[in-house]
Amino acid sequence: MLKRIIFGYIFASVLALTACKSSYTVITPKPNIKEVVNSTDVTLVDVRIPEQYEAGTAKGAINIPLAEIQNNIDSLKGKKVVVFCNKGIQADQAMEILKKNGVEAYDGTTWKNVNAIQDEIQSGK
């Protein structure tokens, strides 16, 4: 009787382990932010407040403060968008909002980072 119980547990365990579906994760390559920033169809969005934006930003960037991102989703849909700020924290929050709403968004981190990428391409490095 004990052998039957043990065999039953082993059989059930083997059945459970072999019956599990294995899932496959598709790994998509992370886009090169330098290529995205310098592509001709990108929209650069500085999510800082207007006073910070006016003090300096990346070339060709538009200003949509983080507090207004949700209200501007429709104008960004269908575009390739790179968001950035001072330290990257607001950019991360903007990325989350944009991606949840189906916008193709990329993290440029800081405006100085995006500006340096632009300068690097222009100087031919």
State the Cα–Cα distance between residues 65 and 49, nearest whole angstrom: 5
| pLDDT at site 30 | 66
Q: Is 60 exceeded by the pLDDT of residue 112?
A: yes
Residue 105 lies in a domain: yes
**Residues whose CB is less than 8 angstroms from the CB of residue 91 and which lie 6 or more positions away in sequence, other chains included:** 47, 83, 84, 85, 107, 108, 109, 110
Residue 12 lies in a domain: no
CATH number, domain of 116, equals 3.40.250.10
Q: Is 60 exceeded by the pLDDT of residue 21?
A: no
Residue 83 lies in a domain: yes
pLDDT tens for each residue of 53-105: 999 999 999 999 999 999 999 999 999 999 999 999 999 999 999 999 999 99
Q: Is 90 exceeded by the pLDDT of residue 11?
A: no
Residue 118 lies in a domain: yes
Show the domain range for 75. Answer: 33-122
| pLDDT at site 24 | 53
Q: Which of 42, 66, 38 is nearest to 52 (CA)?
A: 66
Residue 84 lies in a domain: yes
Q: Count the domains in the chain.
A: 1
* Whole-prediction pTM: 0.74
Residue 8 lies in a domain: no
